[in-house]
Structure formats: structure tokens, C-alpha cells
Structure 1
Amino acid sequence: MRDLSGHLAAQLAADRAAPAAVGDVTLTYQGLADRVDALAGSLEGHVTAGDVVALDIRSPVLGLVASLATDRLGAAYLPLDTAAPAGRQRWVVENAAARVVVHQTGPLALEPRPVTATRPAWPLTDPGYVIYTSGTTGRPKGVHVPKRSLVERLDGLLQLPGLRRGGSILAMSPLSFDMSVVELHLPLAAGGTMVTVDPAARRDVDVFDRAVREHRPDVVQATPSFFRLMIASGWRGNPDVALWCGGEALTDELANALHERCGTLWNMYGPTEATVWASACRLAPGQPISLGTDLPGTAVELVDQRGRVLTAAGAEGEIRISGAGIADGYLDATPTETARFAHTATSRTYLTGDRARRADDGSLTFVGRLDNQVKVRGHRVELGEVESTLESHPAVTEAVVVLVDQGDPDTTHLSAAVVTRGGVRVRDLRAWLAERLPAPMLPSTFQVATALPRTSAGKLDRVMISKRLSAGERLS
């Protein structure tokens, strides 16, 4: 079945009274269909095929309603980061040339509001969804995943790691975080159930544990940072649940702790540009952590700078993903960004910028990044975007941002150093950033310096800066 709306039609034919969602919000498949019909009717006249519809929505159930209504009209849905500053949300809506913003106005209430927008230089072909990620140019970039790639990825995930017919997944991720795509659409593809939960579950172990115990989802998907927080808060786990852990590097210590708290543990790997996940590794206790097995139809390869595949044990290179699930590219992309994608009539590839090493058994182990992109609590952060925003402050002449304590997920954080014209306080810089960037991109520590260390070539000495900031030393 190659159509998202077809998944809903199939379940309606099978059992329209079956639960599409349980938990914080309960809804049958018939109730879901009724709401999709109503919203699609409200959007008609404002949306045409190839358009983008922005979603100002917190509820995963309403996110599913809006995504299916948008799909029916041949448009792509764009989930906004509802926790981001209003100015950043407006920029994303304008950059994507969204025709409508669908606002959540109540627990199960939606209100579409048309916006004035110029037709984009695209139109999108085979529209699926758009997710904005941190960008190297100092501005976010919108990744367009076509419907074909989404359906391919859902088909693959049904097989690996696998979700049984009628299975359930805990829906806990913010819609703007691409893990939500799996939580919304995979249960529907399996004729199963989305387990909704109060957003407080993202930080409150009691709320999270109660949802898992009461509704017994087949799958809980989250970042290592989240699972680490739950364990530190006393979560004892559930022997029947499968944990899909991804978005950050999984450590041996955390894996050992999770083995004691679940039925099966999976290490998931994949960037937004490959439709959430590209590979999965079922981990046994004591087993080395690797990227595991490619999802069906997808190839995860190790390549050198010339694009040649590296197969020798010990080889280190860049991860290239091809085949099923590859995004179309970025909206309004720069030539450098476009170069990461290579699409032909017969193949689609994406260079991730991730580094990996080939083990003796042929498996791949994640090593790190090739650029200044880092992960903070599972969120992709381009350090250049944070630096660019700092340097847009009228009193800042130069800024550098580094990730501190990368080897310790419990204490890792962003640290900023700035050179100023004088007269600016750190709290003013914090406020400046908080009005423009989402929380995961905000530095925890700041240092005002008279000058920043440089290499002999005159470039910022990021290695030295990182070492000094990590040690709490003054830069100048």
C-alpha cells in the first residue's frame, strides 16, 4: 500500500471501532477519520497540491489528523517547534512559503488560518512532510521528505525492528522532532494504536512510568538523554517493552542499564534526511554497539573523500546512505547543501557528514561528525547558527560556541565565548538568544573575552578554545 490515507481507509474497512489512540487522548479509527474529513474540508480552497501546511500543534493525535488531511489534499505538512520563539516560528513559516497554519485551539480542536505567502520556487513534488533542522549558514534549513520516502521507511520499519499487526507505540516526541513521524504513522500502517501521554512524561518519571505500565506499548522510542534521565529518576523499566534508542550515540554504560529494564533494546541510526532511521541493531548484553543492519531497501555505506566504498577492517570514513527513505533535499538550498544529495532516475543518495569505523566483523561504529554539527539531548545543533545569532547582537564582534564534555552525556553542554564592544552583560546575551533560538541551542555557560585564540593561519583555534572552556579557564 503506497498511500498514507490508504492506511486509514484499510483500517476503517477492517474495524472502524478499533482504537487509533489511547491514553491522554482516546480516539477510534472512525473518530480519527471524521476529524480528518472535517479538517480537509476546512483546508480546501486554501491549499493546492504541492503546497506546505504548517502545524502549530502540540497533540500527537491532532498532528496525525492534520498530516492526513494535508496528505489528502496533496500538500506537505510542516510541524512547527511550539517551544521556539515566535520570531523563529514566523521565519520558518515564511521560508517554507506555507499557505496555511493549522493552530491547536483546544484538546481536540483545530483552526486553520491562511497566511499571505509568495509561491515557492519549488512546487514540491510528491509532498510528504518538511522538518526544519539547524543549518550551517546561520539559519535553519527545511528538509523535504517526499511521501514515497515516508511510505518506504514505514514499510521497512514494520519489518526491522518490526511492529506487529495491531501493535502500539508511545507517542511522546514533539512534532517538530522527526522521531514523531514514526510515532504518528507507524501504528497507523500496522493497524495499531498510538499511546498518547502528557508532555510532562518527557521529564517526569512518574508520568512516563504510569503511561508505560497502564497502556503497555510495544515500543518506546527516545534519545539516550531521555532514558538516562528516567533511570536517574528511578525508572525500573518494563520487561515487555522494546526500546528504540537513537538520535545520539548510545554508550555501553547506558545500554547495560537499559538491558535490565526492557524486553529488547535497539540502537537506531539515521539523520532527518533519511526519514528518521536508516539502520537498526538489536543489542544483546555485552555486545559491542554498532549501527547494525540496514533497513529494507536502504544501504548504509562507508566512503572516502572520493566516494569510494571502504570495506577493510579498521577503515574510517563518512557514512553515505542510499536507496529507500532518502529526502528530496532542502528548501531554498545553497550549492553546498545541495551537493550532499545525489539523485538520479535510478538512485538516491545522501552524504551524512557522520564518521564511522568498520569493525573486524564488518559492522560500522559511529565515531563523530565531520563538521560543526553536534547533538544536544538528541537535537541537531549547528554551532555556526548559534554563533551567527550571537554575532547579530549589536555589542558582539565575534563569537564561538563549542560542545563541552562530549564524552559525558550527563554533563555535556554548549559553552559560548564572545568578544564585545563593552557594556553588555551575560544575562543580556542569554535573553537575546532565548528570543531567537530553541532551548537545545542555548549555551549553558558564557565567557566574555578581549580576544579569541587563533591558529598560525589566523583561524579560530577551536581545539584550544574547547580545551580551555572545558577546563573552566579564561581565554584572555
Structure 2
Amino acid sequence: MVGLFINTLPLRVNVSGDAFLGDWLKQLRTQWLDMREHEHTPLIQIQKWSEVPAGQPLFESILMFENYELSRRLQAQGGKWGKRRFRLYEQTGYPLTLTVYSDSQLCLQIEFDRRRFEEATIERMVCHLKVLLQGMLSGPTQRLLDLEYLTQQERSELLVRWNSTRADYSRRATLHGSFEEQVKLSSGSIAVEAGDQKLTYSELNSRANRLAHHLLRRGIRPEDLVGICVDRSVDMVIAMLAVLKSGAAYVPLDPAFPKERLAQILDDAQVKVLLVQRHLVSVLPIVRTDVLYLSAPEIAYESAEAPCSTAQSSNLAYVIFTSGSTGRPKGVQIEHRAVMNFMESMSRKPGLSSEDTLLAVTTFSFDIAGLEVFLPLLKGARVVIADKEVAIDGRRLARLVESSGATVMQATPTTWRMLLEAGWAGRENIKLLCGGEAFPVELAKELIPRCSSLWNMYGPTETTIWSTIWRVRTAQGSIPIGQPIANTDVYILDRHLQPLPIGVPGELFIGGEGVARGYWRRPDLTAERFIANPFKPHNGERLYRTGDLCRWRADGSIECLGRNDQQVKIRGYRMELGDIETALATHPLVKQALATVQQTAVEKKLVAFITAKTDMSAAPGELRKHLIDRLPDYMVPSSFVTLDRMPLTPNGKIDRNALPTVSSANEDHAHAEWPTPADPMENMIASVLRRVLAIENIGSNSNFFDLGADSLSILRVAVKLEELLGREVVVIDLFRNPTVKSLAEYLRGKEGSGQQIRTKEQISAHRNSVRLRLQKRLMRVE
């Protein structure tokens, strides 16, 4: 007989972990019996009644129970039938079919689509079913969440073998103490370099000591917080070391942050002293704390000898404030021992030695800047600090990579993409670290032939910079975030805190030496996000719940799938969408605000949707200015879209999936009403903006950032203008002159002054040399 003679009933099964096994099975059987009267209803009709969209399968797995003993009954006929064995072969056409045969034993058979499932996955599934069924024999009064389905081998692999990361480290050491030990070994070597400034290890140590003595004179002690507001410079490193030497913990304050944001952080942190460069006083809010200028003459009269620090490895090293869902940033407290474990792990893998030069490009308030500063200084290496103007300009940054002789560089995918777009050909001996956001496969393909080794780094601020790493040798499929670093435990758990098998998504939890003390003055949030480790209940270890959805791969690496909340990362910066929505809602014309992330062909973009309180709505430029005064620039959306009302789900909640894409939304660009470009220079700039940003209505007063520009698109605009003008256009000049009119005036002024950095022919020759070097690198890799 050939054919499919079954009636299929789609069944929605609710699995509540608190339900008792016997009650749940009875309920399931009752539900199935109730549906039997509909077993002749066509599936296409059922789909029309359901909430499953047309074109999407109603279900992709099927369970069949054969409640008869086919082989035995046929053999019972006697004669030749009695000597034969019979087996039923069925094929349903679904990707996954589980058939259960009732005989003297319960037999399970799984058919699967090899295009959708690997054989190893199905083998694990069969083992899980076996463990489940055996566990059910213990009785009907068990709760469903107590039923085990992992084999002992799997459980050991997930909880023990893949977390075998124990390694010795200087558990009792402090960061500044370890630096002082390195000074004895490398006193005459260059420790830090920024622009024209260079300091040896001995010079850096002496200057940090003087500042530390002055802080002690002002009453600074362990566990105190000291704010640091400085540009990316040698002063930044001196200040960080000095605060640690005084026994206190530093709080980095980015001078690019708006005053309101800095005021929130300072109000929460209650720093005892605020270290600041004199030229940055204007960016600070009014503060009621002790302000110390780094150029204060009295510092020079302090002792150059190391102060007697009473700080221990259990004391705080720094507190970094990150975006908070309530609209106020939250401070993450990191202790010395956590940083020491991290640094020693990084020195081994990916690896760094005294022969290396690390080029630091990360903003001071981003926790990964700690690796860039301290890792080289603890190993006798050299750290070269790129100033902000260089760090945002791909071409200038590419030149600094070459001139500095950098052998290690850490950056976000956005910065690496910016370097590639600037024509960077790579270096044979450079080690690239990429982290802060998802690592696109296409970007990895471009970077692999441009370096000696490429590493994907992952970790939240709450577990000390990076927690997992992965060497990227090939770029196929998705790039994993890797495996845990030294003395770090990682678990992928369900909502009942039970481990999940290979391939099954769950939330990533991180434990070990890197776990933060908690959130500064936020015991409620600390208790919510930092929990007792259920797998090591006897030694007080804790886990941080990351909110990241991940799954194990068969090789023991981890794949990150996204978030289970409203936290996002763009260009490496972590932010809570609620933080942006709260700030937008304070605008007098905004009734409702919603922030979301939309993916373009090249990158992610932050988009804000608003509804107005009255018939008058705020223009995008006005909303942008409102946020610039309250949030860091990386949290200001690229686009603002005004809607008549927010789309809702049937149960009345905002439907984020129904929000229009920016390209299709009727976005109100106020610049459309502005004067059209007035002369050839303005027309040229407007034409380049139209091509790069794909926006038609561009006026003389159009602001690049109101049009949705970001650092990458600004680089593209600079490159296009450079080609048309025949001379270099520096990216920072576009940031300083962000309208068509102001940039045209600036460029005309440079033209009139005769300033011409490079000719069109020189630019073309440089690009040809870059292409030639890259071709040679590609040939060597192949």
C-alpha cells in the first residue's frame, strides 16, 4: 500500500513548568479528544482561522502514534507469513516526524529533512526523549520543570568540561602594584605615546605618583570615587594610574557627553575629587565637588616616589556608568582582582608581550579602553593613543596604524569598516581584536587577509570587559563569540535556570572572577541581575544574567542570536532604548516616543518614532538638539519619524514589528523648505549628500546629522568631496561644519588660502599603492 492515510490535528501545547506530570498528561489527552471532532477539517481552513500568517507553515513537526502490532498480527496468520518480518514505512513530508510504535517495547523513530537538521542533532533529540520517558516512570506527581532530559554526558559537557577554564593569576595583586613591578623591568622603555608626547615607564610612574600624593593630601582613601574628565592624551593615563595609586576607584567622564548627562553621573557617583584638564571646564555642569586641574602647579612639588597604598585586590578599581532603562545611567563596580584576572588571561590569549605596540582608539568611557591602557603597561609594551579627531577619520587612522608600527589594535566593527572604506591594506604583523557588537561575516572576510590573526571578543561591562573570545580563521556562516576566558564560567539557561542542550537558544549567564560587585547604589537592580550560581551553591559564587540570547555549538563555542530585552548595541555602544524614549518624552511637543533599531544594507541605525501632543509636531532638527543636550551623541537617533499614532497589537500593546522602515516612512525633513544650494560649491556638497544618504530634499541649511548621517557616511562624504576637489578633506571638518552652507564656506576659505594637503594625482597614487599591497596580501593568504 502506498499513500498517507492519516488525519492531522494541529495542537497547541502549553508547557507550564509548575504543572504536575499526571495532570498535564490528562489535560493534553482531553484537549486532543476534544479536537477529534474536527479531524476531517482541511488544514488550509484551520490556518485561515489561526493567527499564523499565510505563507508560513502551520506546523513543521508531526507526532504519529501507531497503536497496533503489525508484524505480530501478520505472523499470526501462520504458514509463510509466520516466517516473515514486517515493518511500516511512512513519509509525511514534514521537516521533522516522530513516530511512536507500541509493541512489547516502546519504539521511537524520527524522520528528518537533512537540509534542515544535522544527524548529530537528531541523535541528541532521541537521547533526550529516552531520558524524558525514563524520568516519567518516577511518578505522575513530578513537576514538569523537574523532569531531566539531558544525558549525564551532556550535562557534564555543558556545565563542567566547557567551563574548565581554571588558571593561576595574581589574585592578591592590584593594577597599580603590578604596573610598578613592570616599571622596575622597563624603566627606560616608552610606555605611552600621544601625538608629540612620549613618556617612558619611569616618567609615567613619577608623574602618576605626584598626582597620587596630591590626591592623598586631599583625603582620598580606598573605595572613594574620583572622576576623570580628560581628552584622549597622556594625561588620561597619568590620571587613571594616579587614582589607583591613591587607593581610590576612577569614574571616566567623556568630555563629549552633554552637561545634563555628566550631571546625572556626577550626582549619582558623588565623587570626592574631579580631575579635569583646564580647557575642559566649560563642558562640565555646575558641580559641588572638589575640582583639581591636572596642570595645577602644586602637583609638581609632590614626591615622585610611589605612595604607600592601602588598596587591596578586593577594592574597587573603577566604576563605569552605562545606559539605564529608566533614563538614568547605572554605575558598574569593578574590583582590582577582576581586572587582574582579565589582563593576565588576555596576555596569554589572544596574547601580548613587551615587544608589542597597541594602538588605542576607544573612547575613555567605554570599558574596553581598560584593555588598551592597562594590558600594554602591565607587560612592558607600548601604548599609542589616537586622539578623537584621528579615531573618527578612517584615512588619518590608517596612516597612524602604519606610522606607529602597531602590532595590536582593538576596535568595534564600525571602526574596522571605516578603516576598510578608507583603503587600509592591513599589516602582516598586526593582531586585530573586534568586539562591542555583532561581527558581520562580510567584514571578517575583508579583515582576515589584512592581519596576522583576527579575534572576536564578547563581554558585558558587568563581567569585566571581555568574557569570551574566538579566533576567526574562516568567515562562513555566523561568527561565534567563542569560549570563556580564564577563570570564567558561561551557561546557557532556560527561564527556570536549567541548562539547555546544543543548538537550543537560551539566556547567557556569566560567572567567575570577572563578575562585578554590582551596581553603584542600586541594590534592587543588583539583586535582579546578579544571582547565586545554582551550579556552585556552596562557595557563594554569583552569575550575571546578560539578557543575550545564545546557543551552544557542537564544538563548544557560543553563538549570539540577539537580545531578550530592549537593550541594543550600535557601533559598539551599549544603550537602553528606554533611556532614549524617556529623554524624548520630556520634549513639550512629544506625546509618545519609541526608539528602535533598523538594519540598512550596510549597518544598524537608531530610529525614533514620535506622536505629537497637538497639531504642531517638532521638526527632526529640534528633536535632535533636544537629545544632544541630554544624551551622548551615540544615543541620538539618525532619523526621527512623526506618526499619527503608534501601531498596536490586538491586545493593545505597541507593535514594534509594524513600524514603518525609515525609507518608506513619510519622514518630515524640515530642510526641504530651506533655501536651495546657492553656488557650485554648495551644489557639489548637496549632490554628494544625495548620493551617500539617498535623500533628495537637501537645502543650503541642511544639517548632515539631521539627515541621518553617522561616522561612516560622513567618511564617505569626505572621500567623495576629496575626489571632486582634488585635495584631502578631513573628516573632523565635516563634524565642525555640519551644514551644506557652513562646509561650503569653510572649503572655499581653504581654497582661497592656498592650503592643499594632497593633489588628486597624489590621492590616486596612494590608493593604487594600497590596492597593490592588498593584492599581495591576498595572494599570500590564498
TM-score by length of 1: 0.91
CA contact 2:233–2:387 (8 Å) conserved in 1: no
Distance change in 2, residues 1:474/1:209 (3 Å)? closer
Q: What is the CA-CA distance between 1:252 and the residue it aligns to?
A: 1.0
2:384 corresponds to which of 195, 213, 230: 195
Kindly indicate which of the two structures has a greater share of residues assigned to strand.
1
Query: For 1:202-244, what per-residue CA distance to the aligned partner results, in whole angstroms no more than 9, with x for missing partners?
Result: 2223321222212222210000011011111211111110000
Measure the CA separation in 2 of the matches of 1:298 and 1:265. 22
Determine the structure 2 residue equivalent to 1:40.
Answer: 212
1:211 aligns with 2:400: yes
Kindly indicate which of the two structures has a greater share of residues assigned to helix.
2
Q: What is the CA-CA distance between 1:106 and the residue it aligns to?
A: 6.9
Measure the CA separation in 1 of the matches of 2:567 and 2:212. 38
CA contact 2:314–2:336 (8 Å) conserved in 1: no
Measure the CA separation in 2 of the matches of 1:80 and 1:23. 19
1:419 corresponds to which of 602, 607, 611: 611
Measure the CA separation in 1 of the matches of 2:400 and 2:279. 22
Measure the CA separation in 1 of the matches of 2:593 and 2:409. 39
Determine the structure 2 residue equivalent to 1:233.
Answer: 422
Determine the structure 1 residue equivalent to 2:193.
Answer: 22
Measure the CA separation in 2 of the matches of 1:445 and 1:15. 50
Comparing 168-177 and 199-208, the one that deviates more: 199-208
Q: Which has the larger radius of gyration?
A: 2
Q: What is the CA-CA distance between 1:343 and the residue it aligns to?
A: 5.3
Helix, strand or coil at the partner of 1:375: strand
2:354 corresponds to which of 128, 151, 165: 165
Determine the structure 2 residue equivalent to 1:223.
Answer: 412
1:66 aligns with 2:239: yes
1:4 aligns with 2:175: yes
After the TM superposition, which residues 210-289 of structure 1 pair with which residues of structure 2 at under 5 Å, given as runs?
210-286=399-475, 289=479
Measure the CA separation in 1 of the matches of 2:404 and 2:637. 37
Determine the structure 2 residue equivalent to 1:325.
Answer: 514
Measure the CA separation in 2 of the matches of 1:6 and 1:334. 30
Determine the structure 2 residue equivalent to 1:31.
Answer: 203
1:83 aligns with 2:256: yes
**AA aligned opposite 2:446:** A
Comparing 266-275 and 454-463, the one that deviates more: 454-463
Measure the CA separation in 2 of the matches of 1:236 and 1:192. 24
Q: What is the CA-CA distance between 1:114 and the residue it aligns to?
A: 8.7
Comparing 6-15 and 295-304, the one that deviates more: 6-15
Query: For 1:351-406, what per-residue CA distance to the aligned partner results, in whole angstroms no more than 9, with x for missing partners?
Result: 10011122232321110011111111110111100001111112212111110117
Helix, strand or coil at the partner of 1:208: helix
CA contact 1:100–1:114 (8 Å) conserved in 2: no
**AA aligned opposite 1:42:** H
Q: What is the CA-CA distance between 1:198 and the residue it aligns to?
A: 2.9
CA contact 2:249–2:319 (8 Å) conserved in 1: yes
Q: What is the CA-CA distance between 1:255 and the residue it aligns to?
A: 0.3
Comparing 34-43 and 436-445, the one that deviates more: 34-43
After the TM superposition, which residues 350-361 of structure 1 pair with which residues of structure 2 at under 5 Å, given as runs?
350-361=544-555
Measure the CA separation in 1 of the matches of 2:666 and 2:387. 43
Q: What is the CA-CA distance between 1:177 and the residue it aligns to?
A: 1.0
Q: What is the CA-CA distance between 1:115 and the residue it aligns to?
A: 4.0
Determine the structure 1 residue equivalent to 2:640.
Answer: 446
1:302 aligns with 2:492: yes
CA contact 2:353–2:380 (8 Å) conserved in 1: no
CA contact 1:143–1:273 (8 Å) conserved in 2: yes
CA contact 1:167–1:190 (8 Å) conserved in 2: no
Helix, strand or coil at the partner of 2:212: helix
Determine the structure 2 residue equivalent to 1:347.
Answer: 541
Measure the CA separation in 2 of the matches of 1:128 and 1:115. 23
CA contact 2:437–2:572 (8 Å) conserved in 1: yes
Q: How many residues align?
A: 460
Structure 2's unaligned 5+ residue stretches are 1-169, 281-285, 291-312, 534-538, 668-782
Query: For 1:173-219, what per-residue CA distance to the aligned partner results, in whole angstroms no more than 9, with x for missing partners?
Result: 11101111001110111121111223223222332122221222221
Distance change in 2, residues 1:139/1:106 (3 Å)? closer
TM-score by length of 2: 0.57
Determine the structure 1 residue equivalent to 2:364.
Answer: 175
Measure the CA separation in 1 of the matches of 2:361 and 2:189. 21
Determine the structure 2 residue equivalent to 1:473.
Answer: 665
Determine the structure 1 residue equivalent to 2:333.
Answer: 144
Bigger RCO (CA 8 Å, 6+ sep): 1
Measure the CA separation in 2 of the matches of 1:36 and 1:308. 48
Query: For 1:266-310, what per-residue CA distance to the aligned partner results, in whole angstroms no more than 9, with x for missing partners?
Result: 011111111110011111124551122211101222111111122
Structure 1's unaligned 5+ residue stretches are 108-112, 118-123
Query: For 1:144-193, what per-residue CA distance to the aligned partner results, in whole angstroms no more than 9, with x for missing partners?
Result: 11111111111111111111234321111111011110011101111211
Measure the CA separation in 2 of the matches of 1:125 and 1:313. 36
Measure the CA separation in 2 of the matches of 1:98 and 1:5. 20
**AA aligned opposite 1:370:** N
Query: For 1:42-83, what per-residue CA distance to the aligned partner results, in whole angstroms no more than 9, with x for missing partners?
Result: 212242221110110122532221122111222110101211
Comparing 6-15 and 216-225, the one that deviates more: 6-15
CA contact 2:360–2:385 (8 Å) conserved in 1: yes
Distance change in 2, residues 1:424/1:141 (3 Å)? same
**AA aligned opposite 1:248:** E
Comparing 165-174 and 438-447, the one that deviates more: 165-174
Comparing 420-429 and 125-134, the one that deviates more: 420-429
Determine the structure 2 residue equivalent to 1:464.
Answer: 658
Measure the CA separation in 2 of the matches of 1:238 and 1:115. 49
Measure the CA separation in 1 of the matches of 2:544 and 2:604. 28
Measure the CA separation in 2 of the matches of 1:12 and 1:375. 37
**AA aligned opposite 1:307:** L
